[in-house]
Structure 1
Amino acid sequence: MLVKDIMKTDVITLTANATVEEALHLLQKNHIRHIPIINESNHVIGIISDRDVRDASPSFLEEHNNRGGILTRTIKEIMSTPVVTTHPYEFFEEVASIFYQKEFACLPVVRDKQLVGIVTEKDMLYAFIQLTGTHSPSTQLEIKVPDQIGGVLSDVCQYFTKRNIKIVSVYSYPDPPKDVVYKILVFRIQTMNPMPVVKDFQNTDYQILYPYWEDNHEF
């Protein structure tokens, strides 16, 4: 999944000479938390958030004894710059890493130096829901398998094929605590009764971690 598939293209922007009052109005009216700041060439030169406005207010109050003094200040005095951006053809996974490492809440999307969109934490979460298939009626299975090259995924998938069960999504994660010998395959399958295929795995070398077998008395 690419950034262009999840970004918003109707981006609300301001110029650096706009006032704090204008920013507050747009933030509240549109129920958003961030506004990219652009120049006359539509280049991103800064970004402002609702937090920036709140954090800046105490320092402004030291110089101004009235709220009007704060609101008439220009955005360029409190905006964050330089701005980290992403590209519409960047992979979702790469951008997710940036969000995590930098603790960002949004990223402007730029192509040929032009602002073309914005992606937020909410957009990233929605993309994750789409990728994992949790948005559709389905059941999740977690299967512990050997972490080896070739054969394992196709072998596991054949059990779903035999039951004529559609696989909505599949991904993997390391077996805690960081066991290099095994990994966990997470399947989301299109059935509300997974027990027949779960029991099929009972006589294999693969271990079903979820859902548990009733015979094992593990609930």
Structure 2
Amino acid sequence: MNILAPVSTIMSTRLVTVSPNDDLLTVKKIFDEHNIHHIPVVRFKEIVGMISKSDFLAFLLGDSVMGHAEGQSLEDRLKAHKAEEIMTRGLAKLEPDDRINVALELFKLNRFHAIPVVRDGELVGILTPHDIIVALSEEKAPASAYRQSENK
């Protein structure tokens, strides 16, 4: 992997998003049905926040500890809350032409695990450490990198 390549070469572009007004039951269904750990929150194609699976699970734990109305189902409790209530705001963002090394530095310096990629304010992808690992794992090492033991 060339760390000077643009992030657009390795970012995920098949995105599942929610709007700020979507209820948390919708968020739960997305996490349940898709193998993702971050859901971008968008308003008119512009990213306004991100919900991580950790954010969602922390909400669930806090919600159950706070003991909402007796007899209220989880489904009803999730329908009563909106995505914007638990989303992270003020996200770091990349542009498609930003270099992978810039993304690596952002991951190193910050405690987040997904960076939205935007073009002209519109969400076009997400970059995660997993995307970088996949790109690295798909590279073929040169034959000289392998040393065979003489004592087999």
Q: Which TM-score band (shorter chain)?
A: 0.7 to 0.9
Instruction: Give aligned pairs, total.
Output: 141
Give the structure 1 partner of residue 75 of structure 2: 68
Partner secondary structure for residue 109 of structure 1 = strand
Give the structure 1 partner of residue 35 of structure 2: 31
Partner secondary structure for residue 101 of structure 2 = helix
Tell me which structure has the larger Cα radius of gyration: 1
Question: What TM-score, normalized by structure 1, do the two folds share?
Answer: 0.59
Cα deviation, 1:113-140, whole Å, max 9, x if unaligned, reads 010111111101123345xx4x356342
Q: Is the 8 A contact 1:24 1:50 kept in 2?
A: no
Which of 123, 130, 133 is 1:122 aligned to? 130
Cα offset for 1:111?
A: 0.8
> 1:26 is matched by which residue type in structure 2?
I
Q: Relative contact order (alpha carbons < 8 A, sep ≥ 6): 1 or 2 greater?
A: 2
> 2:91 is matched by which residue type in structure 1?
V
Cα offset for 1:103?
A: 2.5
Question: What TM-score, normalized by structure 2, do the two folds share?
Answer: 0.82
Alignment of 1:103-182 (within 5 A): 103-129=111-137, 133=139, 135-136=140-141, 138-140=143-145
Q: Is the 8 A contact 1:106 1:120 kept in 2?
A: yes
Partner secondary structure for residue 15 of structure 1 = coil
The gaps in structure 1 that reach 5 residues or longer are 141-191, 196-210, 215-219
> 1:117 is matched by which residue type in structure 2?
G
Give the whole-Å Cα distance in 1 for the aligned partners of 2:78 and 2:41.
17
2:61 equivalent to 1:54: no
Which of 10, 22, 25 is 1:21 aligned to? 25
Cα deviation, 1:193-212, whole Å, max 9, x if unaligned, reads x68xxxxxxxxxxxxxxx9x
Partner secondary structure for residue 11 of structure 2 = coil
Give the whole-Å Cα distance in 2 for the aligned partners of 1:5 and 1:53.
29
Give the whole-Å Cα distance in 1 for the aligned partners of 2:144 and 2:33.
40
Partner secondary structure for residue 107 of structure 2 = helix
Give the whole-Å Cα distance in 2 for the aligned partners of 1:136 and 1:24.
40
Partner secondary structure for residue 68 of structure 1 = helix
Calculate percent identity across the aligned residue pairs: 26
Partner secondary structure for residue 90 of structure 2 = coil
Q: If each structure's strand is expressed as a fraction of its own residues, which one has the higher value? A: 1
**Runs of 4+ with >6 A deviation:** none
Which of 103, 107, 113 is 1:95 aligned to? 103
Q: Which moved more, 1:57-66 or 1:86-95?
A: 57-66
The gaps in structure 2 that reach 5 residues or longer are none
Partner secondary structure for residue 125 of structure 2 = strand
Instruction: State the Cα RMSD in Å.
Output: 2.1
Give the whole-Å Cα distance in 1 for the aligned partners of 2:67 and 2:93.
34
> 2:113 is matched by which residue type in structure 1?
A
